[in-house]
Chain A
């Protein structure tokens, strides 16, 4: 079956530091990949997505590249801000497995001033 594994948190960084949150996946078909973000007290918001190998998703300074050869979709940001503090979820959808999302466990990011 499909699965997503992401690094456990919390990840604590100082403002303006470089961020990487690792995400790897297992899928039977050709998945689309997503990063969702959950700010305190809010729902899951789509941050970025990539639908095929070598696609790069980007939004709000965050980037992730769909790497089929390493089955990875690592999230990066060059300079984090305190407002980026949230929980980040990697997820996939696989057309061969219906239209549900399979999520990773989430990684909490804490950015200190």
Chain B
């Protein structure tokens, strides 16, 4: 069964450093997403991406965040200057269509720890 792959599974970074979280969506999917889950809290939407541009973003997705699909297979989330409160599990997802009848396919997540 096709999978969404995320790397690394766990990343530790110092406050103020830049991090890039990587995702390989399912190859024939067109829509890509990032969600995050702070420990003990809800899974929250960050951003959706289609046709090489952001289609929607939440209030959480401020100027320190950016997304990119650099080579047609990878989908990355960059956090420019990490803060302690960015520590969370970050999930990538993809879907073949925007119509959510089908649900997304999620990756296993990257646990980001900012120290």
A associates with B: yes
Contacts of B99 in A (CB 8 A): 95, 99
A100's contact among B33, B103, B105, by CB below 8 Å, is which?
B33
- A42 interface residue (CB < 8 Å to B): yes
- B51 interface residue (CB < 8 Å to A): no
Q: Number of A residues whose C-beta is below 8 Å from B?
A: 24
- Interface stretch (choices B12-20, B42-50, B64-72, B73-81): B42-50
Contacts of A95 in B (CB 8 A): 99-100
Main secondary structure of the interface of A (DSSP, over half): strand
Is A93 within 8 A of B100, CB to CB? yes
A34's contact among B41, B56, B58, B103, by CB below 8 Å, is which?
B103
Using known A-B contacts A43-B109, A44-B91, A46-B104, determine if residue A99 contacts B31 with beta carbons closer than 8 Å: yes
* Number of residue pairs A-B, CB distance < 8 angstroms: 59
Is B109 within 8 A of A103, CB to CB? no
Could you tell me the distance between the alpha carbons of A45 and B107 in the complex, rounded to whole angstroms? 9
Residue of B nearest to A3 (CB): B42
Is A99 within 8 A of B107, CB to CB? no
Using known A-B contacts A32-B100, A32-B101, A51-B101, determine if residue A100 contacts B45 with beta carbons closer than 8 Å: yes
Q: Which residues in window 67-113 of A have CB below 8 A to B?
A: 89, 91, 93, 95, 98-106
B positions within 8 Å CB-CB of A: 4, 6, 31, 33, 35, 41-45, 48, 55-56, 58, 91, 93, 98-101, 103-109
A positions within 8 Å CB-CB of B: 32, 34, 36, 41-46, 49, 51, 89, 91, 93, 95, 98-106
